[in-house]
A and B are shown apart, each in its own frame.
Chain A
Amino acid sequence: MKTGKPPFEGVVAEHSATVLRVCRAVLGVDEADDAWSETFLAAMRAYPDLPADANLQAWLVTIAHRKAIDVTRARQRRALPVENVPEVATTVPAPGDQDDELWHALKALPDKQRHAVAYHHLGGLAYNEVAEILGGTTDAARRAAADGMKALRTSLMGSKGATR
């Protein structure tokens, strides 16, 4: 008899929302679904061979990171023939729509900061785990997340006079 491992359904049930939040923070709501689906499909494929003591959430967020990069590259390939289309023109946030405002602020961050914010604050990964995904040191991951959060606060609240 093989060693027991919880049915994959339980993994989906427990981590589904977290992975979706991470994908939405990295890619925006529209492209997050594709990354979520590719993440769980790949995870399910590899699940039988995963060590029983693996940190499932860190494992899933790591896969989500790779799938988000795939989705981004696919979009860039599709976008290639059409040059110089200003990105902001396509997705102007509805006034007062918090989701869109947040996404625009996230999108404005350098990739490393957006990833660090998503994986630590939404994915629940420790900074050393974030560093393993992004490369670089634990300190650099911590700094990227802190800088990212600071920039988000500035861009989302700065205009209203909040100073931090």
Chain B
Amino acid sequence: MTTSDTSVLAPLADVDPADLARLHAGLEAAADRAGQLDIAYTTFDSPVGPLLLAATETGLLRVAYEIEGHDRVLETISARISPRILRAPKRLEGAMRELDEYFAGRRTTFDVPLDLGLSAGFRQLVQRQLAHIAYGHTQSYGQVAAAVGNPKAVRAVGTACARNPLPVVLPCHRVLKADGSLGGYAGGPATKAILLELESAA
């Protein structure tokens, strides 16, 4: 390629980040109006680290801890649901407000609409069941298995909890091992302990 002197174009090289931010915000609104914002997401700063929040038009689709890798989580959503994804906080306002209240100890249940499109079958059945474990209470994996009518499926319940696409909101942190020990957690055992502590203190 020839190297030509393009310095006369230099005034166009500088693009003010504020202009790009304003255009991005306009695109978020226009895409939503056009019904083509399949996934809106934002990052929410919580006491257990930044949480990725992603929602379809139906409802909240995913809550992800930082250690899950937010970029990787978005790539999975892109492959499984749709790549029409924008950072667009507006759709997440309700979820952010409820999470704020939850972490402040002022909310014990979540009311935002959910989209369980990232799970199916038995796992989704288990994840739905989690919503029935009351704030401040815990159950064992075996109790959850019994509650969904399959008392022998203890390991499958463990997997369903580990793959919960909506941690915190669907409280898999309230499910412990039969001996009362914490068991695993997508956000790490320390995070699980923090959430249980928060709920017992409130």
Contacts and interface: CB of A to CB of B under 8 A. Distances in A.
A22 B138 CA distance: 58
A84 to B, nearest CB: 31
Interface stretch (A32-40, A62-70, A75-83): A32-40
A25 B12 contact: yes
B27 interface: yes
A9 B11 CA distance: 27
B30 A149 contact: no
Contacts of B12: 21, 24-25, 99, 102, 122
Interface string A9-25: 10010001100110011
B18 interface: no
A132 B178 CA distance: 67
B8 A157 contact: yes
A149 B8 contact: yes
Looking at chain A, what size class is its interface with the partner chain? 35 or more
A5 interface: yes
A47 B83 contact: yes
B24 interface: yes
Contacts of A20: 15, 19-20, 23
Nearest to B7: A153
Nearest to B87: A9
Interface string B53-92: 0000000000000000000001101111011111100000
Nearest to A40: B27
B4 interface: yes
Contacts of A6: 75, 78, 83
A102 B30 CA distance: 31
Interface in B99-141: none
Interface string B3-33: 0111011111101000110011011001100
Contact of A98 (B11, B27, B30, B87): B11
Contact of A41 (B10, B30, B39, B41): B30
Nearest to A4: B79
Contact of B84 (A36, A44, A122, A152): A44
Nearest to A18: B15
Nearest to A21: B12
Nearest to A100: B11
A146 B4 CA distance: 9
Contact of A37 (B13, B27, B79, B80): B27
Nearest to A38: B30
Contacts of A153: 5, 8
A152 B23 CA distance: 28
Given A5-B78, A7-B75, A149 B6 contact: yes
B16 to A, nearest CB: 10
22 contacts: A6-B83, A8-B85, A9-B74, A9-B85, A9-B86, A12-B24, A12-B27, A16-B20, A16-B23, A20-B20, A20-B23, A33-B23, A37-B23, A41-B30, A45-B34, A47-B84, A98-B11, A117-B9, A121-B4, A121-B6, A122-B12, A157-B8
Given A21-B12, A41-B27, A149-B8, 4 more contacts: A2-B80, A6-B83, A44-B36, A156-B8
Interface of B: 4-6, 8-13, 15, 19-20, 23-24, 26-27, 30-31, 34, 36, 39, 41, 74-75, 77-80, 82-87
Q: Which 5 A-B pairs have the closest CB atoms?
A: A7-B85, A4-B79, A98-B11, A5-B83, A17-B15
